[in-house]
Amino acid sequence: MNAFGTLAGRWLASSSPGAWAQVMTTPDPGFAALILAVAEHADREAFSILFRHFAPRLKTMLMRGGASGQAAEELAQETMLLVWRKAGQFDPEKAGASTWIFTIARNLRIDAFRRERHPDTLLPDPSEALEEPVRADQVLATAERDVRVRAAMETLSPEQADVVRAAYFLDQPHAEIEKQLGIPLGTVKSRLRLAMTKLRAALEDLA
Amino acid sequence: MRHHPTETTLAAYAGGALPEPMGLVVATHLFGCPACRRLTAMAEAVGGTLLEDLPPAAIDDDALALVLARTERPVAPAKPSRLQGGLPPPLNACSFGPWRRLGLGLRWRALNSGSHVQAGLLEGAPGKSLPRHSHAGMELTCVIAGSFRDGHERYVAGDLVEIEGEHRHQPIIDASGPCLCIIATEGVKFSGLLGFAQRLLTD
């Protein structure tokens, strides 16, 4: 456990028994419960813990994607502001906390990229049209999925892991990976495909 | 539905690296495909895991205070989207140009995307075929309504056709009804259905 463990522990120790029940059933108990606390009673202390953990990592992610230190700082802050505002939409049964925050940052990065080049155009966020009710039997599947994704990630070869990381963090990934890792585009794609197949196989029997 | 995006395309979509108009074509497919939605959710969980494992960067001392101060300000209400009737939800709020007749039973409606990737809706009348054509670069097509045949394959509503690199083909729309597709393509010339449409428009 990292420093977060103690911070979250301190927060949880002072929260209601309901929060504990939540903790027992979610894949990343601390973070999910903290987001729910922000949603339910605008809990600034819970938000501060989330901020201290995620903002510095979001900044790293955005800088790896090619943003300057200042742009990454602004986008990381913007992402955390949306975490506050959208906390009511967070559903721990559909996505883990870090996955949810990752998608918020991803969408913001797409928006920022568009504003830079074409300030006049507005495309909607297509993922928002895909909201659907969660079935009861998906709940366990989601918790299990996050655990297994992490386990499967650890089985990737270093070469596959490099390509996957680059594919998620670079702006124009495939061509960029070719340049940065010095491997041909065909190899980038086949490694990525193999990595995805491996991850998928680890999840095969889930709903 | 039998035709799906490749895993690398879904990973790029989940990671936010797919050019936006292509993302809209993928989202249109996802709307009707629970299996690919599950894969996308998995690919997003991969993103969450990667984020979790990154080393923290130094952030400004006053960053948290700034953000907390901003949470107190009122949020501007979201702009109402201009909804289009009859399109799948991911395309509902998109801005499209007017329909243009292309002749040969085809009409085209460009998406105002502002991206280097060109995209739009292509509708063909029953039984019509597109002239044989070839293209380079990546092209994604999702069938919204109707169906067409290309070689031995048949594509129906929800199917996603992914073409990469040099490729020659001649799609033929099924006689049972008109076929509506959303297409995004990287190439400008010789780029599949859209390249054909563009040449007709510019000739």
DSSP labels, B161-176: EEEESSEEE--EE-TT
Spatial neighbors of A140 by CB under 8 A, at least 6 apart, are none
Which domains can be identified in chain A, with CATH numbers? 1-134 (1.10.1740.10), 138-207 (1.10.10.10)
Q: What is the DSSP letter of B124?
A: E
Note the Cα A162 to chain centre separation in Å.
18
Confidence bin at B176 (pLDDT 50/70/90): very high
Measured CA to CA, the distance from residue B176 to residue B146 in angstroms comes to: 8
Confidence bin at A163 (pLDDT 50/70/90): confident
**pLDDT value, residue A85:** 95
Least confident residue range of B34-43, B73-82, B142-151: B73-82
Position A81 pLDDT exceeds 80: yes
| Each residue's pLDDT tens digit, B113-131 | 777 788 999 999 999 987 7
Question: Once rounded to an integer, what is the mean pLDDT over residues B66-70?
Answer: 96
B160-164 β-sheet, strand order: B100-103, B106-110, B118-124, B179-185, B138-145, B160-164
**pLDDT value, residue B195:** 56
**pLDDT value, residue A146:** 80
**B42 vs A141, more confident:** B42
Closest Cβ–Cβ partner in B10, B16, B114 for A109: B16
Strands B106-110 and B118-124: antiparallel
Specify whether the CB–CB gap between B51 and A60 falls below 8 A. no
| Each residue's pLDDT tens digit, A5-24 | 333 433 333 344 444 334 33
**pLDDT value, residue A178:** 77
- How many alpha carbons fall within 13 Å on the CB side of residue A26? 25
| Each residue's pLDDT tens digit, A33-61 | 999 999 999 999 999 999 999 999 999 99
Confidence bin at A141 (pLDDT 50/70/90): low
Q: How far does A98 lie from chain B, in Å, by closest CA?
A: 5
Q: What residues pair up with B111 in beta bridges, in sequence order? A: B96
Confidence bin at B174 (pLDDT 50/70/90): very high
Residue numbers of B between 41 and 70 with CB closer than 8 Å to A: 41-52, 54-60, 63-64, 66-68, 70
Closest Cβ–Cβ partner in A59, A106, A145 for B42: A145
Which domains can be identified in chain B, with CATH numbers? 1-79+95-203 (2.60.120.10)
**pLDDT value, residue A21:** 39
Specify whether the CB–CB gap between A40 and A85 falls below 8 A. no
